[in-house]
Amino acid sequence: QQQVKQSPQSLIVQKGGISIINCAYENTAFDYFPWYQQFPGKGPALLIAIRPDVSEKKEGRFTISFNKSAKQFSLHIMDSQPGDSATYFCAASMRTAGETSGSRLTFGEGTQLTVNP
Amino acid sequence: EAQVTQNPRYLITVTGKKLTVTCSQNMNHEYMSWYRQDPGLGLRQIYYSMNVEVTDKGDVPEGYKVSRKEKRNFPLILESPSPNQTSLYFCASSWRRNTGELFFGEGSRLTVL
């Protein structure tokens, strides 16, 4: 059972446009929601993360919007650039016996973003 | 340089031939984990380890074994590989009590014929 559902599977955006990737989760015990970015031939790397006590977090051109009541969160990439072309994964986790939230990350299916020049 | 190192990066093998994918991290992380990445399925956790000699199953552990005898190493063992284990495998590590950031290796692409 996929606990984190991600859409779309693929996304093509023109340079300068806004890229939006959506995720929905089921488990209300999740308390940490990161986004990972993966370039071809590389492992995923943490891009930005949010906890449910805030509704939005912005880092440069990347913004996470979080809707706790709807159990949804999304990644917005403003002024998208060809260098942003990558696969993006949303994820969610919860603390287990007081341990780090990173220990049981559940990932979405991934979105392959292509930004055309 | 802080890194997670996996070997081999690419491997083609045949059904039933035991293989080991090694993973080593130099960041003194307590936590290590293995994921497999398949198209349309994202990253699925195979096994994880909270510390030396402490391991537990993830979401898709069938057909895999792990061991954690040293803090820096976390090998993934396929005792009798089958074609459905053809996948891209990632090792990851982090501090035990942290913000949740996982550091990933560059991946090992395994093909089982």
DSSP B38-63: ETTTEEEEEEEEEETTEEEE-S--TT
A contacts of B100 (beta carbons < 8 Å): 32, 34, 49, 93, 100-102, 105
For A98, nearest residue in chain B (alpha carbons):
B97
Q: Would the CB atoms of B104 and A110 count as touching at under 8 Å?
A: no
**pLDDT at site A62:** 98
Rounded CA-CA distance A49/A3 in Å is 18
Q: DSSP secondary-structure letter at B85?
A: G
CA quadruple B96, A90, B74, A97: dihedral positive or negative?
Answer: positive
Beta bridge partners of B24: B5, B73
Mean pLDDT of A80-101: 82
A102 pLDDT more than 60: no
**pLDDT at site B99:** 52
Rounded CA-CA distance B100/B33 in Å is 13
Burial (CB count <10 Å: 0-12, 13-18, 19+), residue B6: buried
Which residue, A111, A107, A110, A102, is CA-closest to A51?
A102
**pLDDT at site B76:** 98
Rounded CA-CA distance A8/A5 in Å is 10
Beta bridge partners of A75: A21, A64
A contacts of B44 (beta carbons < 8 Å): 107
B41 and chain A in contact, CB less than 8 A: yes
pLDDT beneath 70, residues of chain B: 96-100
| Range name among A12-16, A38-42, B55-59 with the lowest pLDDT average | B55-59
| Range name among A31-40, A98-107, B2-11, B39-48 with the lowest pLDDT average | A98-107
**pLDDT at site A99:** 55
Which residue, B87, B35, B39, B14, is CA-closest to A112?
B39
Q: Would the CB atoms of A100 and B97 count as touching at under 8 Å?
A: yes
Burial (CB count <10 Å: 0-12, 13-18, 19+), residue B53: exposed
For the residues of A98-112, what is the DSSP string, one character each? T--GGGG-EE---EE
Which of A100, A109, A111 to mutate to test binding with chain B, by most B CBs within 10 Å of its CB? A100
